[in-house]
């Protein structure tokens, strides 16, 4: 049963975060640990795969029966960077379809008051006009490099509307850009570009070798710090009441090239060796520039962490936690 809060004895929201031990989960945790409203009115449960494999419906039902969430933030997913997406398209599609279907159906069965799920700007059409906005999710095929992941994620948006229309469910989704921060997956082979480069830079510095950036370095990306995203996801849960998704991103003016991101990492890591580009490796999608006008209109006072500051935090965290970090 949910505890009561304050003197008005209103029950606390029981917020269950699937995938709560990952990069975004760590960002939410850091935010709520210092947020007064969370302390007073909300109780958080951060799940990992050790609490149950939510590709499996029976295990998912047991989790919902155990914690009885009133609110669910759904982060759990098969997640990976460009090179993992290129290699495992079937697994990215199938695992994410199963995970999303189980979580959404359990939110209906167990009468969850609100579900916020996580999409990604990489699911938008590849051939498009820029900037991309929330109305464009289904306007054409995604980039071929991550079609397994992208089509599975797009179905969340389709089902959010279907569940609302047929069952009156209060489901919505957010669309973050590329994320980075403390607690990331620093795998060189399967992870995203920033944690991969941080790990490679650490090793290059130790060995006195070059830092190898894959591809030409010319693709462009918007990067959001995980604690900023955590704060914005909680804001979405509390204040955003539409079924249609909302883009959670830094502005178009904050887009950087992979080459510039690599230089920022080299500087944050005090790496003085050469930065070289392995141009035989894929560049993936050239850009996916997203527009954050809807967010700015609804949450005009939000301040993003500057990328240099966020990268400094992520690099320091990785160096301090090298033995235990996911890699």
Least distance (Å) from ligand GFB to the CB of residue 322?
17
- If one asks whether residue 22 binds ligand GFB (CB under 6 A), the answer comes out as no
Pairing mode of beta strands 220-221, 256-257: antiparallel
In 3D space, the residue among 262, 253, 283, 110 whose CA is nearest the CA of residue 180 turns out to be 262
264-298 burial: b if 16+ Cβ within 10 Å, else e: bbbebbebeeebebeeeeeebbebbbbbbebbeee
Of 80-99, binders to ligand GFB (CB under 6 A) are 81-83, 85
Which partner, ligand NAP, ligand GFB, none, binds residue 258 by CB below 5 to 8 Å per kind?
A: ligand GFB
Say whether 234 sits in a helix, a strand or coil.
helix
For 117, 122, 156, 157, the CA distances from 149, given in Å and listed in that order, are: 14, 9, 12, 14
- If one asks whether residue 283 binds ligand GFB (CB under 6 A), the answer comes out as yes
Binding site for ligand NAP (CB under 6 A): 19-25, 48-50, 53-55, 75-77, 79, 99, 118, 120, 176, 178-179, 185, 192
CA 74, CA 99: separation in Å to the nearest integer? 10
- If one asks whether residue 245 binds ligand GFB (CB under 6 A), the answer comes out as no
Least distance (Å) from ligand GFB to the CB of residue 284?
4
Which partner, ligand GFB, ligand NAP, none, binds residue 49 by CB below 5 to 8 Å per kind?
A: ligand NAP
Least distance (Å) from ligand GFB to the CB of residue 176?
8
Residue nearest to ligand NAP (CB): 22
Closest to ligand GFB by CB, 32 vs 122, is: 122
* Cβ 20 vs Cβ 45: under 8 Å: yes
Rounded to a whole number, what is the distance in angstroms from the first to the last CA of the chain? Answer: 38
Closest to ligand GFB by CB, 55 vs 153, is: 153
CA 179, CA 177: separation in Å to the nearest integer? 6
CA 233, CA 226: separation in Å to the nearest integer? 10
Residues 6+ apart with CB under 8 A from 194: 178, 180, 184, 223, 261, 265, 311, 314
Catalytic positions: 149
Closest to ligand GFB by CB, 98 vs 152, is: 152
- If one asks whether residue 314 binds ligand GFB (CB under 6 A), the answer comes out as no
Least distance (Å) from ligand GFB to the CB of residue 314?
13
Which partner, ligand NAP, ligand GFB, none, binds residue 108 by CB below 5 to 8 Å per kind?
A: none
Q: Which residues bind ligand GFB (CB under 6 A)?
A: 81-83, 85, 120, 122, 145-146, 149, 178, 192-193, 196-197, 200, 213-215, 219, 221, 258, 281-285
């Amino acid at each position: 049963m949910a505890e009561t809060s304050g003197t008005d004895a209103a029950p606390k929201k029981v917020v269950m975060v699937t995938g709560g031990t990952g990069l975004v989960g760590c960002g939410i945790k850091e935010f709520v640990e210092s947020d007064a409203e969370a302390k007073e009115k909300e109780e958080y449960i951060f799940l990992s795969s050790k609490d149950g494999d939510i590709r499996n419906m029976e295990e998912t039902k047991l989790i919902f029966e155990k914690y009885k969430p009133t609110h669910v933030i759904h982060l759990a997913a098969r997640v990976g960077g460009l090179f993992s997406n290129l290699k495992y398209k079937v697994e990215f599609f199938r695992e994410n379809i199963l995970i999303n279907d189980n979580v959404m159906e359990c939110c209906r069965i167990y009468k969850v008051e609100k579900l916020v799920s996580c999409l990604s700007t990489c699911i938008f059409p590849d051939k498009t006009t820029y900037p991309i906005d929330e109305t464009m999710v289904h306007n054409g095929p995604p980039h071929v490099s991550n079609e397994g992941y992208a089509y599975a994620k797009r179905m969340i948006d389709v089902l959010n509307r279907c569940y609302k229309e047929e069952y009156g469910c209060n489901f919505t989704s957010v669309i973050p850009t590329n994320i980075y921060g403390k607690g990331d997956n620093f795998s060189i082979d399967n992870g995203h570009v920033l944690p991969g480069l941080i790990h490679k830079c650490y090793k290059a510095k130790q060995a006195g070798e070059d830092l190898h950036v894959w591809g030409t370095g010319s693709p462009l990306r918007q990067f959001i710090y995980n604690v900023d995203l955590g704060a914005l996801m909680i804001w979405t849960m509390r204040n955003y009441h539409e079924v249609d998704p909302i883009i959670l991103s830094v502005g178009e003016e904050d887009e950087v090239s992979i080459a510039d991101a690599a230089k920022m990492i080299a500087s944050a890591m005090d790496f003085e060796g050469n930065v070289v580009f392995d141009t035989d490796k894929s560049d993936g999608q050239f850009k996916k520039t997203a527009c954050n006008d809807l967010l700015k209109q609804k949450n005009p006072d939000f301040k993003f962490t500057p990328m240099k500051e966020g990268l400094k935090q992520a690099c320091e965290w990785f160096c301090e936690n090298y033995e235990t970090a996911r890699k």
